[in-house]
């Protein structure tokens, strides 16, 4: 074979290989089999709506953790410096990343899903769909929780920040809209959840009569949880602050002497009775992650699948008690508070003679502590009621920053 022919053949082979290679452009197309595209979601609206609700809950457990650590419920027992700052009221902007931002993300997803549901089902069918009731309620609750905890947030994606009061007013409107769709779609659970939320929004906004009306309209057996899966890791209260898991945070030392470690409950400060609403676990020798601090573990949530109450009838009774107290109806307030105590198996406070307003408020504050124990609300409520300084002075930490400074977290 001549050299030229060999060269020609070699060149042809090479050129053919290149041609073939260049033609295989589709080889460069890959797919991520472990993620959904936006188009995929149109085929799975229920999963998307559940994801929206789950998104709110997965944000909420962060807030519960931080709010608990920032209140008189918990203290830092680990090694994380940021948590130590939180424990001592040194809140700072960086910690906002996992808190109110989560609520805003949940809201975006809820609004995005509302558009998706409308596109897939059509406007009219969507507005009478339980799916729509679900995601609208989540949208409203995202704004509600955000306004309760933080000073300001944007009302729309990438919009300017508005005040907590302005955001709460929006939340109240959203809750009303959600109730309307829930009623039209027969989604009773979401109706009640939105109604309970509106009671809270009205209370925040100072519309006490509306708050009382909403709270009384909520069924006595109402309970709505922020739900977690045993297969997940997002219940942070459990994963980082519970016996058997990480023990970076535990019940504040102030309460230790009042814990019955055998019965694993806090004793009621007025009667010494065991209060099942405040379960606390402690075995002698239990230590926090720092290896130095005894660890008294909250025992309300014992496993990763433990749900955190987000709103319930007990809270509605507290709203009722607060509004009545504000209205000067001390008897009505005591009735509501004693209802909660007897429901928990505790002896009711005496009402003859009727306690004075200050004592009723003290009772109210403790019932609130017990009823909402480690539900992530005490921090915000202490602020709303102007009790931060007083409460922390009582537990020996009077130098904490003022509430307004604290609530600028996340700006």
Partner 1 sequence: MIPSREKLCSRAVRFLPALVLTGLLALPSLVSAQQTGSVTGMVVDAMNGEPLSGAQISIEGTQRGALSDARGRFLILQVPVGTQTVRVTYIGFGTQTAEVNVTSGGAAEANFQLTISAVALDEVVVTGTAGAVEKRKVGSSMATMNMEQVQDKLPIQDFGSALQARIPGVRSVGTVGGVGASRELTIRGTASFELDQRPVIYIDGIRVDGSQYEWGNVSNSGTACCSFSGGAGEDRLSDLNPSDIERVEVLKGAAAATLFGSEASNGVIQIFTKRGRSNSPPQFTANTSWGINRLRDNIQTKTYPKFRGPDGFQAWDANETLIENGLVGTMDLSAQGGGEDVTYFVSGAYNFEEGSVKPNWQKRGNLRMNLRWVASDQWTFAINSAYSRNKVLSLQSGNNWMSLLGNAVLGNPRSATEEEPYGEPWLSVSSIKQVDTYSDANRWTGGITTTYTPAPWFSNKLTFGMDNVDDQKSRLLPFGNYYTYVGTVGERNLGYRRARTLTADYLGTMTINPLFGFGQEVAFGAQGFWETSNEQMATGRGFAGPGVTTVGGAALTFAGEEFREAVNIGLFAQDRISWRDKIFATAGIRVDGNSAFGENYGLKAYPKVDVAYQATQDDYLPEVISNLKIRGALGQAGKFPGAFDQFRTFSPTTVLNDVAGVSPDNPGNADLKPETTTEIEGGFDAGLFNDKIGLSFTYYYARTRDALLEINLPPSEGFSDQRLANAGEIENKGWELSINTTPINTADFRWSVDLNMDANENKILDLGDQANWRTVQFKDGKGGFRVDSVMYLGGHEEGYPIRSQWTRMIESYDATTNEHTRTDYNVYAGPVLPTFTASLANTLTYGAFRVYALVSMEDGAIFSNGDRSYRVRQGGGDEYLSLFDFNNLDSNGNPSPTTASDSLYNYFTLYSPRDSRDHVRLREVSVSYSVPMEFTNRFGFGRTTLTLSGQNLYWWDDCNCMDPNMQYAGGSSFNQSGFLAMPQSRKFLFSVRTGFGG
By CB under 8 A, the residues from 154 to 173 that bind partner 1 are 154, 156-159
Closest CA to 372 of 340, 404, 396, 347: 340
Options 62, 71, 75, 100; binder of partner 1; rule CB under 8 A: 100
43 scored as a contact of partner 1 (CB under 8 A)? no
Q: Is 410 left (phi over 0), alpha (psi -120 to 50) or beta?
A: left
From first CA to last CA, the distance across the chain in angstroms is 80
308-312 and 223-226 strand pairing: antiparallel
Q: Which stretch binds partner 1 (CB under 8 A): 42-50, 309-317, 339-347, 388-396?
A: 42-50
CA distance 161 to 146: 12
Closest CA to 104 of 41, 62, 50, 69: 62
Task: Give least dist CB 190 to partner 1, A.
Answer: 13
Q: Which stretch binds partner 1 (CB under 8 A): 66-74, 103-111, 251-259, 387-395?
A: 103-111
CA distance 55 to 52: 5
399 scored as a contact of partner 1 (CB under 8 A)? no
Task: Give least dist CB 156 to partner 1, A.
Answer: 7
User: Largest alpha-carbon pair distance within the chain?
Assistant: 121
Task: Give least dist CB 226 to partner 1, A.
Answer: 10
CA distance 359 to 131: 46
Q: Which stretch binds partner 1 (CB under 8 A): 14-22, 124-132, 324-332, 361-369?
A: 14-22
22 scored as a contact of partner 1 (CB under 8 A)? yes
Closest CA to 231 of 304, 286, 281: 304
Options 286, 290, 329, 397; binder of partner 1; rule CB under 8 A: 290
Options 180, 183, 246, 258; binder of partner 1; rule CB under 8 A: 246
Going by C-beta distance under 8 Å and a sequence separation of 6 or more, which residues neighbour residue 126?
114, 117, 118, 132
289 scored as a contact of partner 1 (CB under 8 A)? yes
| Interface with partner 1 in residues 304-333 (CB under 8 A) | 305, 307
176 scored as a contact of partner 1 (CB under 8 A)? no
359 scored as a contact of partner 1 (CB under 8 A)? no
**How far is C-alpha 217 from the geometric centre of its chain's CA atoms?**
23
SS3 249: strand
Options 186, 219, 244, 328; binder of partner 1; rule CB under 8 A: 244
| Interface with partner 1 in residues 75-94 (CB under 8 A) | 79, 81
Q: Provide the token pair at 324.
A: 């009545």
40 scored as a contact of partner 1 (CB under 8 A)? yes
Options 60, 76, 107, 407; binder of partner 1; rule CB under 8 A: 107
53 vs 177, which CB is nearer to partner 1?
Answer: 53
């Amino acid at each position: 074979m001549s050299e030229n022919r060999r060269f020609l053949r070699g060149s042809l082979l090479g050129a053919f290989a290149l041609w073939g290679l260049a033609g295989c452009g589709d080889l460069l197309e890959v797919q991520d089999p472990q993620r959904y595209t936006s188009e995929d979601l149109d085929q799975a609206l229920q999963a998307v709506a559940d994801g929206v609700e789950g998104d709110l809950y997965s944000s909420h457990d962060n807030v519960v953790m931080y709010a608990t650590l920032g209140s008189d419920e918990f203290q830092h027992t680990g090694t994380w410096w940021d948590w130590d700052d939180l424990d001592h009221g040194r809140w700072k902007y960086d910690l906002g990343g996992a808190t109110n931002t989560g609520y805003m993300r949940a809201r975006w997803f809820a609004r995005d899903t509302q558009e998706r549901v409308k596109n897939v089902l059509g406007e009219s069918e969507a507005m009478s769909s339980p799916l729509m009731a679900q995601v609208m309620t989540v949208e409203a609750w995202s704004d509600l929780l955000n306004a309760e905890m933080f000073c300001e947030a944007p009302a729309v994606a990438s919009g300017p920040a508005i005040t907590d009061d302005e955001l709460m007013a929006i939340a109240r409107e959203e809750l009303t809209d959600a109730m309307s769709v829930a009623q039209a779609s027969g989604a009773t659970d979401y109706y009640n959840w939105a109604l309970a939320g509106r009671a809270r929004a009205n209370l925040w906004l100072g519309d006490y009569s509306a708050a009382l009306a909403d709270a009384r309209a909520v069924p006595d057996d109402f309970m709505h949880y922020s739900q977690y899966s045993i297969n997940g890791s997002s219940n942070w209260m459990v994963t980082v602050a519970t016996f058997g898991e990480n023990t970076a945070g535990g019940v504040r030392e102030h309460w230790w002497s009042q814990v019955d470690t055998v019965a694993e409950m806090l004793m009621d400060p007025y009667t010494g009775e065991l209060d099942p609403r405040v379960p606390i676990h402690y075995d002698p020798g239990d230590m926090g992650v720092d290896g130095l601090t005894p660890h008294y573990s909250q025992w309300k949530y014992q496993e990763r699948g433990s749900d955190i109450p987000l709103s319930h009838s007990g809270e509605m009774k507290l709203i009722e008690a607060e509004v009545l107290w504000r209205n000067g109806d001390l008897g009505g307030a005591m009735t509501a508070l004693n209802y909660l105590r007897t429901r928990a198996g505790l002896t009711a406070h005496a009402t003859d003679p009727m306690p004075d307003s200050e004592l009723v408020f003290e009772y109210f504050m403790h019932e609130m502590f017990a009823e909402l124990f480690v539900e992530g609300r005490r921090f915000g409520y202490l602020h709303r009621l102007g009790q931060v300084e007083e409460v922390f002075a009582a537990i020996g930490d009077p130098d904490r920053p003022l509430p307004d400074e604290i609530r600028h977290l996340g700006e």
